[in-house]
Structure 1
Amino acid sequence: MYVKCWGARGSIPVSGPQYNRYGGDTACMEIRSCDNDILIVDAGTGIRRLGNQLLKEKRFHYHLLFTHAHWDHLMGFPFFKPIFREGTTIHVFRCPSAEGYAESMITRVMTPPNFPINYSDLKAKILFRDGCPQDFSLGSLHITPIALSHPNGGCGYRFTEKGKSFVFLTDNELGYRHPGGLSFEEYRHFCQDADLLIHDAEYLPEEYGEKIRWGHSAYTDVLRLAMESGVKRLGFFHHNQERSDEAIDAIVDEARLCIRRANKDLECFAVAADMHFDL
């Protein structure tokens, strides 16, 4: 399983020299299975660059999976160049909800007056297939959904292939249980022994007190989750729009100090645009 981040920023894209290393694009992850199937998770602004890369590779068949319907996870879709090309086929999993949720997410982002080109004018073939709420598969890649603790709901996922596992929990608030969300202990169980966990870590502990119920976690809660669940690698994700590269580095330094003090065997880092992992 190959995993690549095309955007790790939260809430809104940002630009400027203070964001160069971790990037300013919003959420988009790419997973390539051992069978070379391509699964795109979320369509934040990072999907624009991913689309350019896929066209260079002459790859025109993909699968698309959403965590939830908030704007920063959808806004890049109209700028995904393959959708304007005949011969492109995109299979969209019906997630987070089994009913017409995925269809409405995609069509509304290109509904006037939101965008000048209508969804009906796209040249790509976009097909919808069943996904959530049960486990489902894409070839050799097994996908297990879990409810997020986030306003308006959503799904996180555990991707498993050939004994390796990647857990992706963006926009998940560990310090508060939203309607439909789960307990800390249930998320701990879901993450147990994962090879890679990428989790929303938008806030410092002192910031979180003023942002409780906004749907995002303090990095200290995420670190606790990783240490208690025995994951091997932890990546902080959904970086605050005001968080500079240096400020993110400081978070990672403090987290690594906590890991050493706890005598845990855990690799911790902040996820950057273009960072990739081979599992």
Structure 2
Amino acid sequence: MKVKFWGVRGSIASPGPKTVRYGGNTTCIEIRTDNNELIILDAGTGIFPLSQTLLAELPVTANVLITHSHWDHIQGLPFFIPNFIPGNTLRLHGCFDPVSGKGIEQVMAVQLQYSYFPVREAEMKARIEYVTLMPDQPVQVGSATVTPCLLNHPVINFGYRIECNGKSVFFTGDHEPPYNIYEPGDEAYDEYQMFMEEKEQSIQDAIRGVDVYIADSSYTDAEYPAKKGWGHGTFSSSIASAHGAGAKLLFCTHHEPTRSDDALEAAFAEALSTNAALTKDMDIRLAREGDVYEF
């Protein structure tokens, strides 16, 4: 399998001289199976440069797995160039939204309203298909098995485990480790704590033994208390999760958009030092736009 990063920033694209080394595009990751089948994890602004490379291999069938519908994970979809070319297929996978009562089709429908984008879905030349997924229910995407896992974010967010020929990748999308919303001593604390521990265990089981673990590592330990409840992890929480699940390689991603490349490297180095007891035998890297990992 091959993993290539096209967007590694979180929340908003942040191009400029201070983000040149790691890149300023929002989340998009290309996965290629051993049969060269194309799976795309999220459709942030990074999907636009990815789509330009696909023009060399038309016709394209792109299986896009959307973790959740927040803007930085979907905003590149209207600019996915193969959508405008006959013979291509965009197959969009994602969750059912209990708030709107709609499936993943709303991601395109909302963005392509005429008030916000000049080309309507009916005018696009590619075939566009929608696949609404359910938690823990595997689906087959070519030769790969994709299993959605419900994670913790202010909207429904799927992490995805992708398995093919004995190889595996897990991507969290946006994820904050579950925590108890009650204070110790509150009547509901013990019951909720049991629920949180069960949830955390189910997430660890979904990640267990994965070859490549790509995790939301937005914040430092010092930043997290002010961001609690925003739905994002820390370097430390990602390292702990990777260690607990026995992941072979951890990529830290969803880099804070205000953090320069220099500051990002400093925060990463501090996290490795703080968690030295866990990182001794681990392979941990900062996700970088353009990096490719094959295994």
Q: Sort the TM-score into its range (normalised by shorter chain).
A: over 0.9
Deviation at 1:112, TM superposition (A): 2.5
- Tell me the equivalent position of 1:190: 206
Identical aligned pairs, as a percentage? 35
Deviation at 1:260, TM superposition (A): 4.2
CA 1:80/1:212 → structure 2, altered by over 3 Å: closer, same or farther?
same
Distance 1:59 1:29 in 2: 20
Bigger Rg, structure 1 or 2: 2
Write the mapping of 1:209-228 to structure 2, written as runs, cut at 5 A. 209-228=225-244
Q: Deviations over 1:11-66 (max 9, x none)?
A: 00011111001101011111111222111121110000011000123342221211
Give the superposed CA RMSD.
Answer: 2.2
CA 1:36/1:144 → structure 2, altered by over 3 Å: closer, same or farther?
same
State which of 151, 156, 171 in structure 2 corresponds to 1:153: 156
Q: Give the match's secondary structure for 2:106.
A: helix
State which of 106, 109, 116 in structure 1 corresponds to 2:108: 106
Distance 1:262 1:156 in 2: 23
Deviation at 1:189, TM superposition (A): 2.0
Q: Give the match's secondary structure for 1:205.
A: coil
Q: Deviations over 1:126-177 (max 9, x none)?
A: 1224543311111221111100200011100111111111110021001537
- Tell me the equivalent position of 2:189: none
Q: Give the match's secondary structure for 2:110.
A: helix
Q: Give the match's secondary structure for 2:176.
A: coil
- Tell me the equivalent position of 2:75: 75
Task: Please state if 1:238 is matched with 2:254.
Answer: yes
Amino acid in structure 2 at the alignment position of 1:70: H
Q: Is the 8 A contact 1:175 1:221 kept in 2?
A: no
Q: Is the 8 A contact 1:255 1:268 kept in 2?
A: no
Amino acid in structure 2 at the alignment position of 1:127: E
Q: Is the 8 A contact 1:199 1:235 kept in 2?
A: yes
Distance 2:172 2:249 in 1: 14
State which of 245, 252, 258 in structure 1 corresponds to 2:268: 252
Consecutive unaligned residues of structure 2, counting only runs of 5 or more, are 182-191
Distance 1:113 1:69 in 2: 19
Distance 2:279 2:23 in 1: 31
Distance 2:73 2:278 in 1: 35
CA 1:72/1:177 → structure 2, altered by over 3 Å: closer, same or farther?
farther
Q: Deviations over 1:241-261 (max 9, x none)?
A: 101111111233233334544
Q: Is the 8 A contact 1:26 1:45 kept in 2?
A: yes
Deviation at 1:119, TM superposition (A): 1.7
Q: Give the match's secondary structure for 2:288.
A: coil
Q: Is the 8 A contact 1:19 1:245 kept in 2?
A: yes
Deviation at 1:210, TM superposition (A): 0.5
Deviation at 1:68, TM superposition (A): 0.5
Q: Give the match's secondary structure for 2:175.
A: coil
Distance 1:91 1:74 in 2: 14
State which of 176, 179, 187 in structure 2 corresponds to 1:176: 179
Q: Is the 8 A contact 2:160 2:172 kept in 1?
A: yes
Q: Is the 8 A contact 2:39 2:65 kept in 1?
A: yes
TM-score normalised to structure 1 length = 0.92
CA 1:263/1:212 → structure 2, altered by over 3 Å: closer, same or farther?
closer
State the aligned residue count. Answer: 278
- Tell me the equivalent position of 2:185: none
Distance 1:109 1:273 in 2: 25
Task: Please state if 1:140 is matched with 2:156.
Answer: no
